[in-house]
Amino acid sequence: MMFCAIVSAQNVLLQEEPDTTGEVPLFGRNRAVYAHPLIKLGAVIPVYEDGGEIGLLSTTASAELRTKAKICSWNSLILDFGYRCDRYSIGKDDALGIPGFGGVHKRERLSLHNISFSLCDRINFGRRGNILGIYTDVGFYGDLLFRGAHLMVNEYYDSNSETAERTIQRVKQTHLPFLSRFNYGFTARFGWEWGSFFAMYRINDLVVDRPPLTIYSDFPRFMAGVEMYGIFD
């Protein structure tokens, strides 16, 4: 009975047609071309030049498509393209707020919606098969701001009311001429098979044409966080 099983297995192998061409697949994690989606989640690092502070809920999030073009066994070019939303939670104790909107608000937030791209050079470390392995990316990025929104929440109390009635006012401004429409800077990543850490530094000023009495000279330029792409496999 065992002999019959061995003969049957040999017959199955003989029926297969192995690849004898020696051709290497074009697409794959460690092939000439590889593309995959990813998401980024990060925070705005509160490093200031001048002006008011931002809150701890200042975040960045994006959904992108990454394409890798292999140059050699340890070097590749990386192109990212996608959508990113940056949210700056503005300190409520700032006396003058951001350009064009004076006064102290109970809550204040600036949301930026961008079409984002980046071009990086990737260096891989160590031997590996058809996997991404451990790598570092260094390059530059650019953002095209297509929509900005400034949200202000105010709270008023009626001093003539015995029950201290209050009114909450929400004001949303979408025409923000003081913002730069094209922003750019440097980016770096350290990654492995399933994800990476990233950092971004904006070179140009986000706030342009500032009124002379504006407390914000600009918003923080550093962002850092994590990328996740292994979840899509």
pLDDT at position 94, please? Answer: 47
> Mean pLDDT throughout 3-16?
49
The first and second tokens of residue 156, run together, are 């008023």
Query: Of 54-63, 140-149, 212-221, which range is least confident?
Result: 212-221
Asked whether the predicted pLDDT for residue 38 surpasses 80, the reply is yes
Residue-range domain boundaries for the chain: 28-232
Closest to 190 measured CA to CA, from 125, 137, 128, 115: 137
Is domain 28-232 given the CATH code 2.60.40 in the classification? no
Q: Alpha carbon 185 to chain centroid distance?
A: 13
The first and second tokens of residue 124, run together, are 């891989």
- The vertex-91 CA angle with 106 and 63, nearest 5°, equals 100
Asked whether the predicted pLDDT for residue 8 surpasses 60, the reply is no
pLDDT at position 26, please? Answer: 76
Residues 28, 132: Cα–Cα separation, whole Å: 9
pLDDT at position 152, please? Answer: 78
Mean predicted lDDT score pLDDT of the chain: 80
pLDDT at position 134, please? Answer: 93
Closest to 193 measured CA to CA, from 37, 29, 25: 29
pLDDT digits (tens, 9 = 90+) for 205-217: 888 876 554 555 6
**For tokens 């004076």, what's the residue?**
102
pTM above 0.85, yes or no: no
Query: Of 41-50, 59-68, 115-124, 141-150, which range is least confident?
Result: 41-50
pLDDT digits (tens, 9 = 90+) for 80-135: 999 999 998 876 554 434 544 555 566 788 899 999 999 999 999 987 777 888 99
Residue 144 pLDDT class (50, 70, 90 cuts): very high
pLDDT at position 107, please? Answer: 74
